[in-house]
Amino acid sequence: MDQYVVIVAGGSGKRMGSAIPKQFMELGGQPLLMHTIGAFYRFNPAMQIIVVLPKEQMYTWNSLVEKNAFYIPHQVAHGGETRFHSVKNGLQLIQGDGVVGIHDGVRPFVSLETLQRCYDTAAREGSAIPVILPVDSLRLLQENGHVMLARDKVRLVQTPQVFLSKLLKGAYEQAFTPDFTDDATVMEKMGHELQLVEGNRENIKITDPVDWRIAQFILEKGL
């Protein structure tokens, strides 16, 4: 079955305290986003890779591709007003029928095993959401105070969230509502049941300088 990925890279770098969008910051001599693209290319060099970028970052991206002699084939779609609209724009570049993953541009450390689990499960069952167990205890905030939340009942959600492309494209035909926080919630609104699969601990979302330092370390030494 054909495989696709839509990599959403919309960050501005504000949380990193940087003027450069974080997906363009250099990690081990290469912009972060290229590491993320590379993870999918190594998993399946024949995969159709679509990168969604804010329109105003296109020029910078093209310069970076040239400067780094970045050879991995990919297409670029324009980002939309929200993540929902960005993903929708990316999906429009997919013609065929197959399995499509939606992935955060700032998660470069998704493992080959996680990708295998996600794409295999989605091909078979329609969907695959990679999750891990939280290490810490949890509290649930309520109107008055907060209560304990059983750790073993909670899962931390990673990406790629992977689906049969025809199901996901159908789900993205819905009207947008603000409670679409990720692709899982878009699919659920259509009544689809979602399969959880195991993610990998180092598949972190790089959002702030602490993550960035950890990412440098993972890249240098592996984990």
Contact residues for a second copy, defined by CB under 8 A: 129, 131, 134-141, 145-146, 148-149, 151, 153-158, 181-182, 184-185, 188, 193-194, 196, 201-202, 204-205, 207-211, 213-214, 217-218, 221, 223
Smallest distance from a second copy to CB 150, Å: 8
Separation CA 202–CA 113 (nearest Å): 12
Smallest distance from a second copy to CB 109, Å: 11
Smallest distance from a second copy to CB 66, Å: 32
Residue 31 forms beta bridges with which residues? 26
Smallest distance from a second copy to CB 99, Å: 21
Separation CA 133–CA 157 (nearest Å): 9
Smallest distance from a second copy to CB 9, Å: 17
The answer to whether 103 and 90 are in contact (CB under 8 A) is no
**What's at 135, amino acid-wise?**
V
Give the containing element (helix H, strand E) for 132: strand 127-132
Separation CA 160–CA 164 (nearest Å): 13
Separation CA 218–CA 206 (nearest Å): 12
Give the sheet arrangement for strand 161-164, strand by strand.
Answer: 75-78, 48-53, 2-8, 98-104, 161-164, 127-132, 196-198
DSSP code of residue 175: P
Between strands 48-53 and 2-8, the pairing is parallel
Separation CA 146–CA 197 (nearest Å): 29
Smallest distance from a second copy to CB 69, Å: 30
